[in-house]
Amino acid sequence: MKHDAALLVIDVQNAFVQGGSMPVPNGLEVIPVINRLMPLFSHVILTQDWHPLGHHSFASSHANKQPFQTTQLFYGEQVLWPDHCVQGSADAQLHADLDTQAATMILKKGLDPAVDSYSAFVHADRVSKTGLSGFLKERKVSTVYVCGLATDFCVAWTALDACEAGFTTYVIEDACQAIDLNGSLDAAWQAMIAKGVHRTSAQAVRDARAANKA
Ligand code: VGL
Ligand code: ZN
């Protein structure tokens, strides 16, 4: 029997792999790992970063700013990125090699031009919510496994907010890859561990699911 856990597959989009606008080193490596995990879950949620042109998280929207610098937005410090995941562009599409048939929901995020959204649960203003917590709770999901791109941004923020919302939360380390900007990967793991996020591997998840089925 599959139990009440959801797999959250974060931002496996053309933008974040080789050839995209903001490639995460080794980003493509997550795809076969995630494809093997998806059939083990009865709830699979995909997220898609989906920004309007001129989004405030783009360096190009600010005078004298380069990608990977930061600026102050009304909700706090924001890392500025290359233009990426512009709505409707090929760059914003989910990667063609990702098996999307098993997905029960595709959540688009980052639509508000003034507010970024790394997390699948709460926008970067830390106030407005996506509705994912309610969606999962209505389906009696109490445990989430998070994977995808990038470990230190969208995966970490999603995992932290999942914990905050009361879900038992795992991050599947080898089903993720990181950007690692100025120590952001270590900082993300420290924050996740401090919050109670469990760090696991794809093999451990497969073993646990097999034991659960037996
Ligand atoms: C992401 C930065 C900006 C991510 C998305 O998917 O990790 N990072 N937008
Ligand atoms: Zn983005």
Q: What is the pLDDT of residue 146?
A: 98
Q: Which ligand is nearest to the CA of 10?
A: 1
- 25 CB neighbour count, 10 Å cutoff: 12
The minimum-distance atom of ligand 1 relative to the CA of 179 is 7
pLDDT, averaged per 10 consecutive residues of the chain (214 residues), comes to 81 98 98 97 97 98 96 96 98 97 95 97 95 96 98 98 98 98 96 98 94 72
What the chain holds in terms of domains, given with CATH numbers, is 2-56+67-213 (3.40.50.850)
Catalytic residue among 49, 109, 147, 152: 109
The structure tokens listed for 102 are 């098993």
Q: Which ligand is nearest to the CA of 158?
A: 1
Cβ burial 39-69 (10 Å sphere, 16+ → b, else e): ebbbbbbbbbbbbeeebbbbbebeeeeeeee
Catalytic residue among 11, 116, 152, 161: 11
Q: What is the pLDDT of residue 1?
A: 38
Compute the distance between CA of residue 106 and CA of residue 98 in angstroms, rounded to an integer. Answer: 13
Report how far ligand 2's centroid is from the alpha carbon of 33 (Å).
23
Q: What is the pLDDT of residue 209?
A: 86
Whether 11 is catalytic: yes
Task: Determine whether the shortest distance from the Cβ of 197 to ligand 1 is under 6 A.
Answer: no
Please name the residue whose Cα sits nearest to atom 4 of ligand 1.
154
Residue 27 · residue 18 · CB < 8 Å: yes
Catalytic residue among 85, 147, 154, 176: 154
Residue 49 · residue 85 · CB < 8 Å: yes
Which of the listed residues 81, 115, 123 should we mutate to test ligand 1's pocket, taking the one with most ligand atoms within 8 A of CB? 81
| DSSP 8-state secondary structure symbol assigned to residue 64 | T
The minimum-distance atom of ligand 1 relative to the CA of 110 is 9
Whether 154 is catalytic: yes
The minimum-distance atom of ligand 1 relative to the CA of 11 is 6
